[in-house]
Every structure is written in C-alpha cells, then in structure tokens.
Amino acid sequence: MARARTPADLVGAQPGPPFEITFDGRPVSALPGQSVAAALWAADILAWRTTRVGGRPRGAFCGIGQCYDCLATINGSPNRRACLVPARPGDAITTQEGHGHGHLGV
C-alpha cells in the first residue's frame, strides 16, 4: 500500500517542533509557519465564526485574505483573518459571533 504523503513531505520541509494553541479552550497542535486557519483545519475544525444574520458557521474560504470568511477572535482581538495570521505558541482563538463586537452592544 502506498504511503500517504503530506505537502510538507513533498517539498522536503523540516518544520520545528509542534506547539499548542487553543480553540474555545480546547488544545490544538500547530507547527511553526502555519497560519491559524491551517492549524485549525489540521485539527478538523472547519468553522470558527458565525454570520451576523442567521448565525451560520463560517471558516476559511479563499485562503488568501480576500473574502473575510475566516475572521476569528485571536487573543481577544476580533475580526482577524485566520488565513493570514501566523499561529504562535499560546494563542487563544475563540469562535467569533457575528461582527465580533457583541460586548459593545452594537
């Protein structure tokens, strides 16, 4: 049986050791150089925000920072594009509800 190859295998990448971030309090493993969205995807987390109208789940769509579907609250800061933000050890990602400013009552 053929061995499954990852993109890192294909390019011969030698990433550093994994580190931990959290998503809604749950530990998630990330690798140096991964975006927050890539780390969440690797952990089978596909949605980390809900829409303002209807509360529909959203995650990464375009993956290049153009569509804004991947907005997340990262370390308490809402509306961060998870596909562009590099994951850092200890980052706390939380599900963003709507526009991310619910605490302001807007």
Would you say residue 12 lies in a domain?
A: no
Residue 44: alpha-carbon gap to chain centroid? 11
Would you say residue 62 lies in a domain?
A: yes
What is the extent of the structural domain holding 22?
17-96
Would you say residue 2 lies in a domain?
A: no
| Mean pLDDT along residues 38-46 | 95
| Mean pLDDT along residues 78-103 | 86
Cβ-proximal residues to 91 (8 Å cutoff; 6+ apart), any chain: 21, 22, 30, 36, 74, 75
Question: First vs last Cα of the chain: how many Å apart?
Answer: 56
- CA-to-CA distance for 41 and 72, rounded, in angstroms? 13
Would you say residue 30 lies in a domain?
A: yes
Would you say residue 53 lies in a domain?
A: yes
pLDDT confidence bin for 102, thresholds 50/70/90:
low
Would you say residue 6 lies in a domain?
A: no
* pLDDT recorded at residue 4: 75
Would you say residue 89 lies in a domain?
A: yes
The CATH number given to whatever domain includes residue 59 is 3.10.20.440
Q: How many domains does the chain have?
A: 1
Residue 98 has pLDDT above 80, yes or no: no
Would you say residue 72 lies in a domain?
A: yes
